[in-house]
Amino acid sequence: MKVLLVNGSPHKDGVTNLALEEVSKMLSKNGIDTEIFWIGNKAISGCIGCGACFKTKRCFINDKVNEFVSKAEAADGFVFGTPVHYAGPSGFIKSFMDRCFYGKGYAFEYKPAVSIVSCRRGGAATTFDDLNKYFTISNMIVVGSQYWNQIHGNNKEEAIKDEEGLQTMRTLGNNMAWILKCIEKGKQDGVQYPEKEKRISTNFIR
Ligand SMILES: Cc1cc2nc3c(=O)[nH]c(=O)nc-3n(C[C@H](O)[C@H](O)[C@H](O)COP(=O)(O)O)c2cc1C
């Protein structure tokens, strides 16, 4: 089993990465393979809503998004991390996740996912909620921890001192490993995926 951990910060080795490493350590301790995927600090285009991906299962812009979706197809669980930028997710991760999830939900459904956020002081809860929205519209299983998954610090040196934040990440890693093992056991015992109805898609004027 493998979990992909996404670092949505422009800093490869900053606070977000520190938190992801803490989650990763506990997953590894439980025998789960892990990979931290840094989305980089080059501009990532937002989704233009062309819908091409519904046919091709890939974005027409061939960048980090497609690289990640290929890995996501084979992965068993996900951790998406972001620094708080103006009380919301970083622009990088927002564009990245819009394009990862739109038209490509098949790569994520029925798999566990969590978001983690890093910030100096404020905006953690709104950012956490923002990222969780991608999972709850994609038939995913959101894993909890002992607190909302946030770590505080303006840089890595400060964040290392956030003992509760780091413990929250370790608990999260353990909880996710447990859920993954339960899912695996269910598969071995023949538990089927839920039956899907033909999708009804309405809006408020038709
Ligand atoms: C553009 C920008 C906006 C930020 N906005 C906030 C904010 O709204 N609230 C906050 O507490 N910290 C804010 N910060 C600080 C970062 O969230 C914080 O330093 C974070 O832990 C950095 O994580 P990283 O090292 O993974 O990038 C902001 C930083 C930047 C660069």
Domains of the chain: 2-188 (3.40.50.360)
Question: What does pLDDT average to over the chain?
Answer: 97
Distance CA 139, CA 108 (A): 8
Kindly give the pairing relationship between strand 112-119 and strand 141-142: parallel
> Using one digit for the tens of pLDDT, what is the confidence trace for 125-172?
999 999 999 999 999 999 999 999 999 999 999 999 999 999 999 999
At residue 48 the predicted structure's pLDDT band, cuts being 50, 70 and 90, is: very high
Hey, what are 180's tokens? 């993954």
Q: What integer is the mean pLDDT of 90-98?
A: 98
pLDDT score for 98: 98
Task: Quote the pLDDT of residue 106.
Answer: 96
Distance between CA 186 and CA 98 in Å, rounded? Answer: 31
- Is the pLDDT at 204 greater than 90? The verdict is no
Looking at the CA of residue 88, tell me the nearest atom of ligand 1.
8
| pLDDT grade for 206, boundaries at 50, 70 and 90 | low
Confidence band of 205 (pLDDT split at 50, 70, 90):
confident
* Average pLDDT of the segment spanning 172-200: 97
* Gap between the Cα atoms of 98 and 3, Å rounded: 20
Q: Which residue from 23, 82, 85, 90 has its CB within 8 A of the most atoms of ligand 1, so it is best to mutate?
A: 85
Say how many Å lie between the CA of residue 9 and the centre of ligand 1. 9
Q: What is the pTM of this model?
A: 0.97
DSSP helix, strand, coil percent of the chain (3-state; round to 5): 45, 15, 40
